[in-house]
C-alpha cells in the first residue's frame, strides 16, 4: 500500500514570495491533515479536511495561508506572502475518518524562508 506522498521535499524562498505544497493521501482515506512543525516543537495542526470539506482551520493564519482539497483526494497548501517565521516542516497526514483511526504521515516538506 502506497503511503502519503508530499512534494516538494525541500523549498527555499525569500520572504514575501509565495510557495505551494502538494499532498496525495492514502487511497480511501477521508480525512486529511496539514501540520506545521517548527524546529524543536511538536506538529501543530493547521487544517483538517473531511473529504473535501474543512473540519478545523482554527490555527491556520488565514491572512497568508490557504488550503484546498479538490474532489476529496489531493490537497494543496499555499503560503502567500511568506514570512521568516514560516520556516518549518509542513507535514501532511491522512486517516480513515475517526480520531481513533491511525494517522499516517508523509515525509514532509522542509521550507526555509530567507
Partner 1 sequence: AQSVTQPDIHITVSEGASLELRCNYSYGATPYLFWYVQSPGQGLQLLLKYFSGDTLVQGIKGFEAEFKRSQSSFNLRKPSVHWSDAAEYFCAVGARSSASKIIFGSGTRLSIRP
**Angle CA 30–5–20, to nearest 5:** 95
SS3 state of residue 70: helix
Residue 34 Cβ vs partner 1, minimum distance, rounded to whole Å: 13
Bond into 84 cis (ω within 30) = no
For the CB of residue 90, give the shortest distance to partner 1 in the complex, in Å. Answer: 12
In whole angstroms, what is the distance from residue 67 CA to residue 49 CA? 10
* Residue ranges that bind partner 1, judged by CB under 8 A: 3-4, 31, 40-45, 48, 50, 55-56, 91, 93, 95, 97-103, 105-108
Q: How far is the CB of 37 from partner 1 (least distance, A)?
A: 9
Amino acid at each position: 500500500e502506497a503511503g502519503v506522498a508530499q512534494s516538494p521535499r525541500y523549498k527555499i524562498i525569500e520572504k514575501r514570495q509565495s510557495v505551494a505544497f502538494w499532498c496525495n493521501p492514502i487511497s480511501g482515506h477521508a480525512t486529511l491533515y496539514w501540520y506545521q512543525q517548527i524546529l524543536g516543537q511538536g506538529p501543530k495542526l493547521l487544517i483538517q479536511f473531511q473529504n473535501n470539506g474543512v473540519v478545523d482551520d482554527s490555527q491556520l493564519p488565514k491572512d497568508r495561508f490557504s488550503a484546498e482539497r479538490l474532489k476529496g483526494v489531493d490537497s494543496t497548501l499555499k503560503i502567500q506572502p511568506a514570512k521568516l517565521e514560516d520556516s518549518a516542516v509542513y507535514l501532511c497526514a491522512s486517516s480513515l475518518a475517526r480520531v481513533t483511526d491511525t494517522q499516517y504521515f508523509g515525509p514532509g516538506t522542509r521550507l526555509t524562508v530567507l
